[in-house]
Each structure stands twice: as structure tokens, then as C-alpha cells.
Amino acid sequence: MKLLMIALLAASLAALVVTGLKLASGRRLNGGSAFVSALRLGGPLIGLVGAAFVLLNIFLGIANFGGPVPLPVLAPGFAEAALLFLLGLLAGVVGVICHWVIESRIDRAVLQS
């Protein structure tokens, strides 16, 4: 799950870098849009799948424990699931904003030529 968290953060940073390179490229319109589009759609889904997997493991642990499980034992798992979901949402929001920036730049370049 830590690898998935790192991947979501890295993808968000990569989207910002791609957008910056796209804006700095002048009038060229090549590259980067597909990655940002995939991130805006896939980021929340990947975060949700990771959170669901963590919650599944929590519930399996509760079932195997056999008795009442104290909340301090459960809290780290719920926090990890919430963090994964929020990182997925963050990646999606970054992807949407970067996509808007790239699309507006493409629209300006196409309309001015």
C-alpha cells in the first residue's frame, strides 16, 4: 500500500511537470495530454481500490480475532484507507486542473493560428 501511495504522489507530481513542460514548449502541441487525462480518470479509482483492499484486510483481521477489537487497534487501518482514498482524489484533482490548463492552451494555440 505504501508503494501505491508513493505512485499516486509521483503521478500527481509528474502531471504538474508535464503541464509545466507543455506550457513552456511554445506553439508546439505535442505530448502529455494522454497521461494527464488518464490520471484524472484513474487516480480516484486507484485510490478507491487501494482503500477497499485495506478495508478488506481490516475486516478479515476482525473476523479472525474472534472477540471485540479495541478502536486503537483499528484506527491505523482506517487512517491508511482514508489516506489512500484522499491521495487518489488528490491525483484526480491535479489531473483535472492540469487537463484544463493544457486544453485551454491548445484552444488558444489553435484559435490564434
Alpha-carbon distance of 35 to 18, in angstroms, equals 9
What's the confidence (pLDDT) of residue 34?
85
pLDDT tens readout for residues 31-74: 678 888 899 999 999 999 999 999 999 999 999 988 888 999 89
Question: What is the SS3 assignment for 93?
Answer: helix
pLDDT at position 78 is 95
Residues 6 or more apart whose Cβ sits within 8 Å of residue 89? 43, 44, 47
Greatest alpha-carbon span in the chain: 70
Rg (C-alpha) for the chain, rounded Å, is: 19
In single-letter form, the type of residue at position 80 comes to E
Contacts of 38 (CB under 8 A, 6+ apart): 95
Does the pLDDT at position 94 exceed 80? yes
When pLDDT is cut at 50, 70 and 90, the band that residue 29 belongs to is low
Cα four-point dihedral sign 99, 100, 101, 107: positive
pLDDT digit string, tens, across residues 74-93: 999 999 999 999 999 999 99
